Structure 1
Amino acid sequence: MAEFVDLESQDGVRMPWNVLPGTKQESTNCVVPVSAIYTPLKPFPNMPVLPYSPLRCRTCRSVLNPFSIVDFMAKIWICPFCFQRNHFPPHYASISDDNLPAELFPQYTTIEYESPSENSSVPPVFMFVVDTCIIEEEMAFLKSALSQAVDLLPDTSLVGLITFGTYVHVHELGFGQIPKAHVFKGSKDISKDQLLEHMSFFVKKPKPTTGVIAGARDGLSAESISRFLVPASECEFALNSVLEELQKDPWAVPADQRATRCTSTALSVAASLLGACVPGSGARIMAFVGGPSTEGPGAIVSKILSEPIRSHKDLDKDSAPHYHKAVKFYDGLSKQLVHQGHVLDLFAGALDQVGVAELKIAVERTGGLVVLAESFGHSVFKDSLKHVFQSSDYDLGLSTNGIFEINCSKDIKVQGIIGPCASLEKKGPLCSETVVGQGSSSAWKMCGLDKATSLCLIFEIAKKDSSDAISQSASNQFYFQFLTYYQHSSGQMRLRATTLSRRYIAGPGSIQDLIAGFDQEAAAVVMARLVSFKMETEAEFDPIRWLDKSLIQICSRFGDYQKDSPSSFSLSPRLSIFPQFMFHLRRSQFVQVFNNSPDETAYFRMILNRENVANSVVMIQPSLISYSFHSAPEPVLLDVAAIAADRILLLDSYFTVVVFHGATIAQWRNAGYHNQPEHEVFAQLLRAPRDDADAIIKERFPVPRLVICDQHGSQARFLLAKLNPSATYSSDASPRPGGDIIFTDDVSFEVFLDHLQRLAVQ
């Protein structure tokens, strides 16, 4: 797969099919859809940033690129998408074969433009929305994390603070003499107009009779805005003193009830306030929630403790009374935030569920970050929050206000995007009838995006038969162009253009070419996003059956075998790991909801939907590295056979990093051998996996949970649950000395493969 990784390091794109099926029927037979996983802001060290505006085709608005055909004599370029002839403007007069502008260089298929005219840079805005219905200890953890975050904020950024419990408190940070706050009732729905009225925005200047009230230029006085949003450099003292004095919600909670927590009302107030003060600017609502919402339109459970919070079973049986109302509310909130261009980030610190499953729609459509931890004192929360603001080597590169557009050859249509964006409903000839994810559009809003944000684009081949495909264009190339217009973290507006070309193949004899261009990692990730999407949107969907059926079809189409002879079955190396990915995907937390709450499942899927291929593959099939005295650290199969008494294993499953000590190693460590000078080698062996685990944790967001455990210990389950159960309590295979068995009725990969071969050759 090395060449696909090289392609990604040039353009940030991975495609399951790098040679495309040329007709609709062929692409249906390929099972895995024609698709691409694209990371719009992937950093490229030598990518030029051009200080002028791009040249656009006058028909389809695509940007001049290395695939355009250029006539240097006539000073004309032909667009590869719609074949329109365009004249070069006068300032391109000197171009020739040996004097090309950067955008025509063949190696610059990805390039950025930063036009000087638009550089009215706006400061970033952070609105902290803080839950106060939490115990004193959690409150202390949260206060200390927030004051650290405030210290790390860029000086120019604007900051606001809202706290909520039974009531919503909007703090006036610009009023420095004494702490001052506006209070709203948590159970009431407050409109934007009521909010502005109540917070005396129109005391000195009457309210305009017509038009929208949005920002300083539309009738809000700048001084009324600066009461609530204050530059970080000026409000540090006011903000810290409010945070220091922050108390647990004072309203008494009866013993048989949950606290009254109005999360939805607080978020609605935050969204309306930002919509009035700073519309269209890069603003983030950062919500810190410590428990389930019980009040207001987004409540997920009633206050009575004896009523349990909804589970997956309740959602399946449609017996979760609050669920649909809450989702409908957050759907409305997501539309409001997308319209304003603002992001909702969610930081949840609770053992209980807080409503991530309901909030998912608003966080995902605005491209927000999400972190789920057991407590605000847990390193998963604390380190992730620091990571958001620290611009160290692992800078997230937070950018805002993006618009993503796509252009492609006329025989390809776009079904939609699965990922953190919202459809702008820009209909046109590019849009397919079939909609997957955010569809019926060729443009999407990305309110928040960062260096790692990756979109999964699903295409449809529109050509009916192969004869007209071959005769019409001798070139048999399909072209794609991805345009991302966004506000860079420096405040400047930029446009990044990525243009790709892929060969297509049609008719008999195309199978070998398709196999040669198959990227099995990208294919596994596309299938994982698709199966998660279908589980959430299709009522009677059976994920295991769908995955198995797809895998059998792929194997019977692309495998080598004699009919009805399973022993003759073999797969090309290009496809040989794909069944293994599917085996682990069937067992993963994206498909198996048993033992996970709806919040956890929603969290896992949100992260899967925004990460690139390399990270997503680790979520589907974790990596396992073995450390021993006899050899250097080496990757081993994700199998129970990897466990040995004299080995240390390091499992990286993306959300959790496990360091697992074999029984003998654990005994020696407990006896303190590593502290004795003559056992320096043992001390190094213990240190190596810890150092590697720290390196993984440092560069990942959200920060994974670190589990350090011993063989036969209670936490060993974090490792055992991910391993292929080749030796179980019921199998004949006895574990080797010092090894382990797994107590499960799951089938092992060998049995899975046997069944697959039997079915594929039929």
Structure 2
Amino acid sequence: MANSDPEGVDGVRMTWNVWPRTKLEASKCVIPLAASIAPIRPHSDIPTLPYAPLRCRTCSAVLNAYSRVDFLAKIWICPFCYQRNQFPPHYAMISETNLPCELYPQYTTVQYTLQMDPDPNNPSNAPQLQPVFVFVLDTCMIEEELVFAKSALKQAIGLLPEQALVGFVSFGTQALVHELGFTEMSKVYVFKGSKEISKEQVLEQLGLRAAGGRPTAGYPKGLQNGFTNTVVNRFLLPASDCEFTLNSLLDELQTDQWPVQAGHRASRCTGVALSVAAGFLGACLPGTGARIIALVGGPCTEGPGTIVSKDLSEPLRSHKDLFKDAAPYFKKAVKFYDSLAKQLVDQGHVLDLFASALDQVGVAEMKVAIERTGGLVVLAESFGHSVFKDSFKRVFEDGEQSLGLCFNGMLEIGCSKEIKVQGIIGPCTSLEKKGPNVSDTVIGEGNTTTWKMCGLDKSTCLTVIFDLSSTDQSNVPETVNPQFYLQFLTSYQDPEGKTLIRVTTVTRQWADISVSTEELIHGFDQETAAVVMARITSLKMETEEGFDATRWLDRNLIRFCSKFGNYRENDPSSFSLNPCFSLFPQFIFNLRRSQFVQVFNNSPDETAYFRVLLNKENITNAAYCCFPWYDNSTVAQHGLPESTRTSGICTSFGSTPG
């Protein structure tokens, strides 16, 4: 019976399920050694254990189903570094007939729930931390659009858990922080939109500095989730306490009243508003699950993050402008959002963007901050459009429709000693943690074996690119283990505030392709390989100046077919490919013509949106995004197993204008 779930319990798919032993042999395979992982993908067969994981004292790998165990000596041997580790006292009853859950062979993925005691002096050790949502609303729009946006916000506040903390910032020509804890009247703190403002200035102006000049830290007073007393409750309140106040505030809120000259764009300080929101969140709740949810209705024209001048005669930048370096605001705006991304990652907070406008709003510039923090991005034509309304609602819904938004994640990757990690493509940030398994070659977020994922959900998917340390077959010992191991450890805060750790350990076989390529060929995953190539191509187009994507894909396809195709020289009609490769050339041909490579007729914002989606979706969805022709009927024609078939696009949310 075919498996209808290609990701399986582990949520891991690889380009090659059998690996060559040396770096030289791997390079001849053309398609890189890569794994697509879904760190917190839900599955009914994953057990949850009420204790902390047991880790190797040398390499920090977690006890797993591939560990060898000496039951008499109460010792386990790590499959990654072969270190002998003593079991702690609470494993004293372990035996061949009394195994802990993590040693059962079918449980290659397990989840641990950390039981932590309240500690008022250490907020990061507080149990059941509730999520925090700071809404940032653009008021530089027509009255009708603002009414739609305010209606969506009211609905969202009603869907939030009662103890979720809520803050509110509005912006137009200036950025306004609303003090929700002052119910007698509407009270706001105004920040000038035309100049960059530092985090320290935000704290100073909001009165979030203690008498000694240090930022106040901790949690709001009187909340029922373990928070301590500070002045923070002026700006962040539980949804149940501030729903009426916030609804009244939204009813009173009007479009930006600053006059707009004829032939000019509205003065919109998006960058300052996001800086202020990030600044006071970092002072109030560093290291906790928090999201900045920005509703933006047009391009930033004022202060840091500006993407176009106010003069309507100056058009918004196009791909042609970016290619010719004729977009005067682009690099400066990207630099600003890059620094904002670093601040948010340090704080553990997420930036989500809901952009509704007929023109561009600056997604191309904001992409760095959205992607590095694991944020969501949605493009629509109007705040009244069903794309926006349905997508926005799904962020806050519970039950089956829930996105399963989680916070403050961290990913660690452990490998067998012959394997090195080049980097990750996807919504995460490198923490620059060096180690023996870090490759000198960097792809995406690299130079580390640990990554920060400020925001993640049940559909989040990352692509990990690997390298091999051995360059020569003669350097590989004959007694080497025929298997290698990879371990993915993800710690995160779930929507209920609990801290969880999920550990997935997988193994695959080595193959000596100098003798035979049969095993290698049958271990090829066409879908995964096509999506990985699409993600690498997209990354190269963004980071390598003058990169010719079409020519690069053509050369790699030619190399691939030369390596694995059967043909007689000078006889094109004799060419044939193994059925395991039958779809791959079609994938590459269609990738060359896709919106990820051919940016003509797409704006930079649309291209940025497509790439965020491509890098985040699972393999099945990403394959459908890249190759719309690829459906069940297409696959059935090639006689491929049901496990490789798509069930139609299932993206989390969002669409593109028009």
Aligned to 2:476: 469
Kindly indicate whether the alpha-carbon contact (under 8 Å) linking 1:371 and 1:381 is maintained by their aligned counterparts in 2: yes
Identity between Structure 1 and Structure 2 (%): 60
Alignment partner of 2:116: what SS? helix
Aligned to 2:9: 10
Offset of 1:189 from its aligned partner?
1.8
1:26 aligns with 2:21: no
Q: Using the alignment, how far apart are the partners of 1:706 and 1:557 within structure 2? A: 42
1:518 aligns with 2:524: yes
1:701 aligns with 2:652: yes
1:66 aligns with 2:65: yes
Amino acid in the other structure paired with 2:319: H
1:149 aligns with 2:156: yes
Q: Using the alignment, how far apart are the partners of 1:357 and 1:638 within structure 2? A: 38
> 2:511 aligned to 490, 505, 510, which one?
505
Aligned to 1:617: 623
Kindly indicate whether the alpha-carbon contact (under 8 Å) linking 1:623 and 1:638 is maintained by their aligned counterparts in 2: no
> 1:536 aligned to 536, 539, 542, which one?
542
Tell me: CA distance 1:207–1:216, structure 2 relative to 1, closer, same or farther (3 Å).
farther
Q: How does 1:209-608 map to 2 (within 5 A)?
A: 209=213, 213-216=216-219, 222-473=229-480, 475-608=481-614
Q: Using the alignment, how far apart are the partners of 2:430 and 2:31 within structure 1? A: 23
Q: Using the alignment, how far apart are the partners of 1:583 and 1:270 within structure 2? A: 44
Aligned to 1:185: 192
Q: Using the alignment, how far apart are the partners of 2:546 and 2:142 within structure 1? A: 41
Q: Using the alignment, how far apart are the partners of 1:417 and 1:201 within structure 2? A: 37
- When structure 1 is superposed on structure 2, of 294-303 and 6-15 the one drifting more is 6-15
Q: Using the alignment, how far apart are the partners of 1:426 and 1:187 within structure 2? A: 38
Q: Using the alignment, how far apart are the partners of 1:289 and 1:258 within structure 2? A: 14
Kindly indicate whether the alpha-carbon contact (under 8 Å) linking 1:66 and 1:108 is maintained by their aligned counterparts in 2: yes
Aligned to 2:87: 88
Q: How does 1:51-62 map to 2 (within 5 A)?
A: 51-62=50-61
1:195 aligns with 2:202: yes
Q: Using the alignment, how far apart are the partners of 2:634 and 2:114 within structure 1? A: 50
Alignment partner of 2:251: what SS? helix
Q: Using the alignment, how far apart are the partners of 2:95 and 2:312 within structure 1? A: 76
Give the gaps of 5 or more residues in structure 1.
626-633, 640-653, 655-691, 708-762
Aligned to 1:651: none
Amino acid in the other structure paired with 1:103: E
Aligned to 1:721: none
Offset of 1:488 from its aligned partner?
1.3
Kindly indicate whether the alpha-carbon contact (under 8 Å) linking 1:417 and 1:436 is maintained by their aligned counterparts in 2: yes
Q: Using the alignment, how far apart are the partners of 2:634 and 2:654 within structure 1? A: 24
Q: Using the alignment, how far apart are the partners of 1:245 and 1:104 within structure 2? A: 60
Offset of 1:47 from its aligned partner?
1.0
User: Looking at both structures, which has the greater relative contact order when contacts are Cα pairs under 8 Å and sequence separation is at least 6?
Assistant: 2
Tell me: CA distance 1:130–1:638, structure 2 relative to 1, closer, same or farther (3 Å).
farther
Alignment partner of 2:189: what SS? strand
Offset of 1:278 from its aligned partner?
0.8
Alignment partner of 2:169: what SS? strand
Offset of 1:201 from its aligned partner?
3.5
Deviations 1:448-496 (A, max 9, x none): 00000000000001112223425141x3111100000111112110110
Offset of 1:706 from its aligned partner?
11
Deviations 1:706-744 (A, max 9, x none): 99xxxxxxxxxxxxxxxxxxxxxxxxxxxxxxxxxxxxx
Aligned to 1:650: none
Offset of 1:307 from its aligned partner?
0.8
Q: Using the alignment, how far apart are the partners of 1:190 and 1:151 within structure 2? A: 32
Deviations 1:607-639 (A, max 9, x none): 1000100000101111577xxxxxxxx836999
Alignment partner of 2:550: what SS? helix
Alignment partner of 1:635: what SS? helix
Amino acid in the other structure paired with 1:388: V
Q: Using the alignment, how far apart are the partners of 1:356 and 1:209 within structure 2? A: 37
Q: Using the alignment, how far apart are the partners of 1:213 and 1:501 within structure 2? A: 48
Amino acid in the other structure paired with 1:208: G
Aligned to 1:158: 165
Q: Using the alignment, how far apart are the partners of 1:72 and 1:491 within structure 2? A: 37
Q: Using the alignment, how far apart are the partners of 2:212 and 2:83 within structure 1? A: 47
Amino acid in the other structure paired with 1:142: A
Q: Using the alignment, how far apart are the partners of 1:226 and 1:158 within structure 2? A: 9
Kindly indicate whether the alpha-carbon contact (under 8 Å) linking 2:18 and 2:508 is maintained by their aligned counterparts in 1: yes
Deviations 1:194-249 (A, max 9, x none): 222222335xxx52246x654359xx983421110011001111100111111110
Offset of 1:57 from its aligned partner?
0.2
Amino acid in the other structure paired with 1:556: S
Offset of 1:397 from its aligned partner?
0.6
Aligned to 1:630: none
Give the gaps of 5 or more residues in structure 2.
118-125, 221-226, 638-645
Tell me: CA distance 1:541–1:58, structure 2 relative to 1, closer, same or farther (3 Å).
same
Amino acid in the other structure paired with 2:404: G
Deviations 1:492-514 (A, max 9, x none): 10110000111011242332111
Q: Using the alignment, how far apart are the partners of 2:570 and 2:477 within structure 1? A: 35
1:139 aligns with 2:173: no
Aligned to 1:113: 112
Tell me: CA distance 1:15–1:326, structure 2 relative to 1, closer, same or farther (3 Å).
same
Q: Using the alignment, how far apart are the partners of 1:637 and 1:455 within structure 2? A: 25
Deviations 1:523-551 (A, max 9, x none): 00100000000000000100000111111
Q: Using the alignment, how far apart are the partners of 1:426 and 1:165 within structure 2? A: 40
Alignment partner of 2:553: what SS? helix
Q: Using the alignment, how far apart are the partners of 2:482 and 2:46 within structure 1? A: 29
Amino acid in the other structure paired with 1:441: T
Q: Using the alignment, how far apart are the partners of 1:510 and 1:130 within structure 2? A: 61
Instruction: Provide the TM-score with structure 1 as the length reference.
Output: 0.81
Tell me: CA distance 1:323–1:703, structure 2 relative to 1, closer, same or farther (3 Å).
closer
- When structure 1 is superposed on structure 2, of 112-121 and 10-19 the one drifting more is 112-121
Deviations 1:93-132 (A, max 9, x none): 1111111100000000000011212661211100000000
Kindly indicate whether the alpha-carbon contact (under 8 Å) linking 1:356 and 1:599 is maintained by their aligned counterparts in 2: yes
Amino acid in the other structure paired with 2:49: L
Alignment partner of 2:460: what SS? coil
Q: Using the alignment, how far apart are the partners of 1:186 and 1:704 within structure 2? A: 30
Tell me: CA distance 1:166–1:703, structure 2 relative to 1, closer, same or farther (3 Å).
closer
User: How many residues get paired?
Assistant: 637
Alignment partner of 2:293: what SS? strand
Amino acid in the other structure paired with 2:435: G
Kindly indicate whether the alpha-carbon contact (under 8 Å) linking 2:355 and 2:361 is maintained by their aligned counterparts in 1: yes
Offset of 1:22 from its aligned partner?
1.1
Aligned to 2:633: 635
Aligned to 1:665: none
1:207 aligns with 2:211: yes
Kindly indicate whether the alpha-carbon contact (under 8 Å) linking 2:134 and 2:291 is maintained by their aligned counterparts in 1: yes
Alignment partner of 1:226: what SS? helix
Offset of 1:705 from its aligned partner?
7.2
Tell me: CA distance 1:125–1:312, structure 2 relative to 1, closer, same or farther (3 Å).
same
Amino acid in the other structure paired with 1:469: V
Amino acid in the other structure paired with 2:74: K
